[in-house]
Amino acid sequence: MQLRLGQQLTMTPQLQQAIRLLQLSSLDLQTEIQAALDSNLMLEQADEPQDLPVQPETLAAQTAAESASETEIDAAASTLPDELPVDSAWEDIYESYDGATSYSRGEEEEWDPYERYSGTGESLRDYLYWQMRLTPFSEQELAIATAIIDAIDESGYLTLSLEEICQGLQDEYPVTPTAAEQVLGKIQRFDPQGVGARSPVECLLLQMEVLSDDTPWLAEARRLVERHLELLAERDFSGLMRRLKVSREELQGIVSLIQSLNPHPGARLSNAEPQYITPDVLVYRQRSTWRVELNPESTPKLRINARYAALARQSSTNGDTAYLKNHLQEARWFLKSLQNRNETLLKVATCIVERQREFLEQGDEYMKPLILRDVAEALGMHESTISRVTTQKYMHTPRGIYELKYFFSSHVGTSDGGECSSTAIRAMIRKLIQAENPGKPLSDDKIAKLLEAEGIQVARRTVAKYREAMSIPSSSDRKRLV
């Protein structure tokens, strides 16, 4: 047997709750808040009227608790530096409600701006089914058409051969490939044009069938698609001019006609619901100062129910009072954790805006190198806390909506001993490519040399990595007819 004396850190339930709320996105946070409202009778939304009377003997205790809570909030706010390069509108975000901190928009704004856009969009398959029901098919043709539509993928291509479709229908109908071909021909005239094709060549030819015969370069475009489509994919314009016996200007007209077609006709019909982002932080410029505010619409107003809180403060020791006291304590913990989350988010966002003011004013090329440790040291927090608070949190700026993670980037050394962020280098690469000659696009090695001339030392493979990250094709794939 041994007797040991030691120290260890233990995470309390309150700390665990605060960490969990800190890393939640605004959507997940609203779900967490709704769950707390459903499970804790002490919590309620601030827009709900408090029509239950409060006993006079408990009013003094309630007022004292409210004053103590306001003192807590003022003490928390006083920990921020007095002089900040950016202005954080703290008093515009927080108000006191019965010992709780509230966050949300005004009561008059009840409507959901995205409600009218909710719902699942029509899929390509549903759209084809609708056209099938409008087409005079026999019972057997209807079964064939259903099987064909089921075999069409989201891009609009037929993924099974007609023989496989016929084999799948043998138990129900003795279908021949000729009959299936006839039904497929009708489906291939459905909207969108080119649907039901078995190859990119057939897809483009189906779309050219509906074009007027007097369309310029139509015959040449058909010949190119039928015989030399692989040369067009390789950007072998010289080979195309020799085989088609056309000049560069004529080839440009032929290629432009082909590029007006859609090689993925089903892509414009998608049943995916649009994903809306509600920013957690609002950033805007007021005169010469950048202001940072929490978005009041990201979380609803919460407060402690005054009636139940008054009952919980009674000195009775019965089971009901103990139950109310437990719920009151849990509600206070939850509101405190919610307040800590928003305090931390505001501090981190303010620090980011302070460091990246040049980006907000001039664009991506002026993004400064920034890592989690920089913000952690500036705010006296741990890097893991900064990582949690910047994940799935979004900032609305005059330049658009960005995830807080976007403002963090590695750095590359410059010839004068300085540093340049990877985000700024990506912006420079994009700018160089946009200004290049389409007939002679810049290679990765040439881009690296141009950046080196600007004092930025970047290897060719690094340029290739950044270019691929921005989904920009290689120089051979970017080559165009002039």
What's the mean pLDDT in 136-157? Answer: 91
Tokens of 239: 């080979």
For tokens 């509101």, name the residue: 335
CB 272 within 8 A of CB 288: no
254: pLDDT strictly greater than 70: yes
DSSP-derived 3-state class of residue 96: strand
Q: What are phi and psi of 305, to 5 degrees?
A: -65, 120
Tokens of 19: 């960490």
For tokens 């302070």, name the residue: 354
pLDDT band, residue 54 (cuts 50/70/90): very low
pLDDT band, residue 87 (cuts 50/70/90): low
pTM for this predicted structure: 0.62
- Check residue 90 and give its pLDDT: 42
Which residues have C-beta within 8 Å of that of residue 264, sequence separation ≥ 6?
155, 156
Tokens of 93: 């975000």
What is the amino acid identity at position 146? T
CB 431 within 8 A of CB 447: no
**How buried is residue 378: exposed, middle or buried, by Cβ count under 10 Å (0-12/13-18/19+)?**
middle
Q: Alpha-carbon distance 225 to 202, whole Å?
A: 9
pLDDT band, residue 208 (cuts 50/70/90): very high
Mean pLDDT of the chain: 80
CB 157 within 8 A of CB 118: no
What's the mean pLDDT in 451-480? Answer: 83
Fold of 409-478: Arc Repressor Mutant, subunit A (1.10.10)
Kindly tell me the sign of the dihedral angle through the C-alpha atoms of 156, 160, 162, 165: negative
Nearest CA-CA partner of 210 in 260, 256, 161: 260
Kindly tell me the sign of the dihedral angle through the C-alpha atoms of 96, 97, 99, 102: negative
Q: Alpha-carbon distance 243 to 68, whole Å?
A: 86
DSSP 8-class letter at 215: S
pLDDT band, residue 100 (cuts 50/70/90): very low
Q: Alpha-carbon distance 460 to 142, whole Å?
A: 57
Give percent helix, percent strand, percent coil of the chain, each to the nearest 5.
Answer: 50, 10, 40
Q: Alpha-carbon distance 51 to 33, whole Å?
A: 23
Q: Alpha-carbon distance 389 to 13, whole Å?
A: 19
Q: What are phi and psi of 294, to 5 degrees?
A: -75, 145
Tokens of 41: 């009778």
436: pLDDT strictly greater than 60: yes
Which residues have C-beta within 8 Å of that of residue 89, sequence separation ≥ 6?
291, 292, 293
10 Å Cβ neighbour count for 87?
14
Question: What is the secondary structure of 146-201 as a DSSP string?
Answer: HHHHHTB-TTSBB-S-HHHHHHHTTTT----HHHHHHHHHHHTTSSSTTTTBSSHH
In the chain, what are the domain boundaries? 13-47+54-107+278-358+377-386, 124-268, 409-478
Q: Alpha-carbon distance 47 to 376, whole Å?
A: 37
pLDDT band, residue 441 (cuts 50/70/90): confident
Nearest CA-CA partner of 292 in 346, 345, 367: 346
Tokens of 36: 């707390």
Which residues have C-beta within 8 Å of that of residue 182, sequence separation ≥ 6?
141
